[in-house]
Structure 1
Amino acid sequence: MTTTKNPIDSPPFFPGLRILGYQFKLIGWIGFWLKLVLAIAAIVIVLFASATLGGRPAVPGQPVPTAGAGVGIGIPFLIGGVVCLGISVYWSFFYTRLSRRLVKPTPKGQPSKAETTNWIRAALITDLIGMLLMVIGAESIGGILFSKALSQGVGSFINIDPSRFIQPGDLLVILGSIHGIAGLFIGLSTSLWLLQQTVMQKPPTAPDGAIGRHD
């Protein structure tokens, strides 16, 4: 003899949790593609700028103009920022996987609110560290380029080391850092919004288990 479980015995699915799951899915995919495009652009630009370091002297007997002369001090910071941006891309993809667990019709398998907020905070820390590294790298490179610009006064183009001029590769490095900062800013914005939406979930009942069932 089989018994049928009374639907009343099963806790009702919190409707707000389904909405939260859709938000994680939508914001996750938007952030994933935007950050992926910016990350690829930043990597390509930095690699292209590195490939242009050096070249032929414009005037025989003059030193070879080096696009990255003096700006190398900021490159490690930019690389670290790009790595953090790559991790941030993963976090956006993780949000889309998390959304599947949030929309499950039963509490089993659903993440708790504390678990979800901890994941979002980890993504925020990644974006903050990456943005800090990018800003330090951009600031150091920008300061060096400013000193180069000051040295290019009237009459300074005669018998001067071409490596002291601002080269196109120098500007490419700055452009790459801007792309990286933009991607990390998107990560910060989306994660903060999802964190707010998660914290706001306060259903009337709160048995153990799902995020939508405890404060």
Structure 2
Amino acid sequence: MANAAIPIQLIHAPQHNGMVIPYIALRHADGTPELGRVEPVRVAECLTDRLCQLCAQQLGAAAVGMARPQDFGYGYIPEPAQHPECAAYAIRACPMLLGRLPRLRDRTRPQRRRCDRADICWCGADEPPSVDAIVRSGRAATPWYSVRFPMSEYEVVESARKGPRGISLRAFTDPKVRLVSWGDPDLYELGRVVMNGLPTPWDGSGS
């Protein structure tokens, strides 16, 4: 994340190097966040309890989710929503949402760092990357969209084995979809954009 100005409502939130640490961010045992990775237990908590993924406070009358073209195809957003003001900060601060990262992180390589409690931390485990990590690692950045919706239409998609999967996109009657960053979509992703009628940089429908 870049050093965007922190809004007053987030001034008391935990920070790292001048940036707000999202509540769902994966943390090392020494407390250092691993930005760009999430803690599944906290993700499930936010989805179920209707909490903002950034500040962990109850969502209000409206919320914003961040979605990729593939999420519109699946019919749900896999990460928790945010307050509109928290989402605005995230868009200014996150390099992926800003379009500054041309490619996704390569998860198949060894961890960049281990914390000083690696003996009890996840970073000390020598686990092979997941199939999803192998498939997505190093790929060109995907387009990102913000989806604003009323909380009266908030609906969680559940999985019988894994709990909450995400927020249903199909439950929204008139969501406000805005292009946040375009990335470098391949032909398959472009097809998803077209099929779902999503905004592009050229059609003037970014908001």
TM-score, structure 1 as length reference: 0.20
More strand by proportion, 1 or 2?
Answer: 2
TM-score, structure 2 as length reference: 0.20
Q: Which has the higher contact order (CA 8 A, sep 6+)?
A: 1
More helix by proportion, 1 or 2?
Answer: 1
- Structure of higher CA gyration radius: 1
